[in-house]
């Protein structure tokens, strides 16, 4: 089951309204009539609550999902594996801080003007870097 299929299966009153577009009741609030729109965008999808303006994270968590449920777990490239073992705590903090700053800037642009495809790719890479750093700290 793909991430979007997993998400869609958890929604009430789901109805497909176009190619890659659905409406459903928003699971983040007591929704009686479908106010949530879901649009598939390539390998990802966008959700929007038109009634209470619930956030994406709030919507995902209300159906029991987290951000990690939407990313395929892959082994890092060989060159990253060898570097990963040599990261000091200071390097991890510096890399994490830089990635967090980039993510914050990209998310701000996403909410105001939108992102170009290469910026979306950069946002994904920064997210993967943060996951890699988290794994390094958690599993050392």
| One domain for residues 12 and 65 | yes
| One domain for residues 10 and 26 | yes
pLDDT, tens only, 35-94: 999 988 776 778 889 999 888 878 988 999 876 676 655 555 554 444 444 567 777 777
Which domain, by its residues, includes 44?
A: 3-70
- The per-residue pLDDT for 87 is 63
Q: Which of 43, 70, 97 is the last residue of a domain?
A: 70
pLDDT, tens only, 96-126: 788 888 888 888 888 888 878 777 888 888 8
| One domain for residues 48 and 32 | yes
pTM reported for the whole predicted model: 0.53
Alpha-carbon torsion 86, 70, 59, 61, what sign?
A: negative
| One domain for residues 65 and 84 | no
- The per-residue pLDDT for 84 is 44
pLDDT, tens only, 12-36: 999 999 999 999 999 999 999 999 9
The Cα–Cα gap between 41 and 39 comes to 6
Q: Which of 52, 70, 88 is the last residue of a domain?
A: 70
Residue 126 tokens, joined: 């920064």
Q: How many domains does the chain have?
A: 2
The Cα–Cα gap between 45 and 56 comes to 11
| One domain for residues 85 and 38 | no
| One domain for residues 9 and 64 | yes
DSSP string, 23-89: EE--TTTT-SS--EEEEEETTEEEEEESSS---HHHHHHHTT--GGGGS---PPPHHHHHHHTT--H
| One domain for residues 54 and 83 | no
| One domain for residues 37 and 86 | no
pLDDT at 11 over 80: yes
């Amino acid at each position: 089951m793909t991430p979007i299929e997993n998400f869609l299966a958890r929604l009430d009153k789901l109805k497909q309204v176009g190619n890659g577009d659905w409406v459903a009741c928003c699971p983040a609030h007591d929704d009686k009539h479908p106010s949530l729109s879901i649009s598939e965008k390539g390998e990802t999808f966008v959700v929007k609550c038109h009634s209470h303006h619930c956030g994406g994270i709030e919507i995902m968590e209300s159906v029991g999902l987290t951000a990690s449920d939407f990313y395929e777990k892959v082994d890092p490239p060989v060159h990253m594996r060898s570097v990963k073992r040599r990261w000091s705590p200071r390097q991890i903090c510096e890399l994490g801080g830089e990635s967090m700053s980039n993510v914050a800037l990209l998310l701000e642009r996403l909410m105001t003007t939108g992102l170009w495809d290469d910026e979306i790719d950069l946002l994904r890479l920064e997210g993967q870097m943060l996951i890699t750093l988290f794994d390094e700290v958690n599993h050392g």
